[in-house]
Structure 1
Amino acid sequence: MGAITTTLQKEAESIFTDLGYKVAADDSGLRAERKWRVVDVMPMVEPEELPSSGQFRCFVTWEDAVDTLAHHLADVDPDYEWAIIGVGDEDYEVSHPPTTRLAT
């Protein structure tokens, strides 16, 4: 794991810990647990090979890479719920997949 990814991993761990999750490192990134929910957290600098399975996944990247990663996820249309956390200099923002619009 490179220095930037390690920094993103620390940011992700801090964010989820502050949200009340118990966080532990695993083979693909982090595993965040709280109550009944388990979230697989994947820090990534830019879109790369995405996991093909899971239930809840959260991708953590820099704020300027959020749109690119969101488009990549939308194109792949994985079979799990996902969100992206875009980390900025002093804060972060959570993005969710767009909802399907009904034709009018």
Structure 2
Amino acid sequence: MATVTMPPSEEARTVFKRLGYAIDEEEMQFIAERKWRRVLVTPMCESDVESPERLLEGEDTTDYPRLRCFVTWKQSAETLLTYLRSAKPPYDWAIIGVDRDGDFEVVYPHSWA
């Protein structure tokens, strides 16, 4: 299925714009800002979610914002949630599941957006 093989980059941008965040970068991974929040947003396709350690291990997080949000397709969100809970990364994080129709769901934490 084509939707899961590509990271939901445009969908991630749309979600954060709808939530009132300013977005400057045109890279796949981007910073979203609103009020006091600076969030590093990382879109992830299904294959990224199946092996997230290759994307997340060894990261130097000193230059990143304290808040991270991983945006993936809805059907992959629970797999990513399981991984991040066990990995316990050294930053605050959230997961948003999206679909092609523009619908999204904050999977974790439920009240963070």
Class of the TM-score when normalised by the shorter of the 2 chains = 0.7 to 0.9
**For structure 2, which runs of at least 5 residues remain unmatched after alignment?**
none
Moved over 4 A (4+): none
Structure with the bigger RCO (C-alpha within 8 Å, sep 6+) is 2
Q: Counterpart in 1 of 2:20? A: 20
Choose 68-77 or 82-91, whichever is displaced more. Answer: 82-91
Higher normalized strand content (fraction of residues) = 1
Task: Give the greater-gyration-radius structure (CA).
Answer: 1
Aligned to 1:101: none
SS at match of 2:89: coil
Does 2:35 align with 1:35? yes
- Provide the aligned C-alpha RMSD in A: 2.2
The alignment's TM-score, normalised by the length of structure 2, stands at: 0.73
Aligned length: 94
Identity of aligned residues (%): 40
Hey, what does 1:93 align to over in structure 2? Answer: 105
The letter for the 1-side match of 2:77 is V
- Structure 1: gaps (5+ residues): 99-104
- Normalized per residue, the structure richer in helix is 2
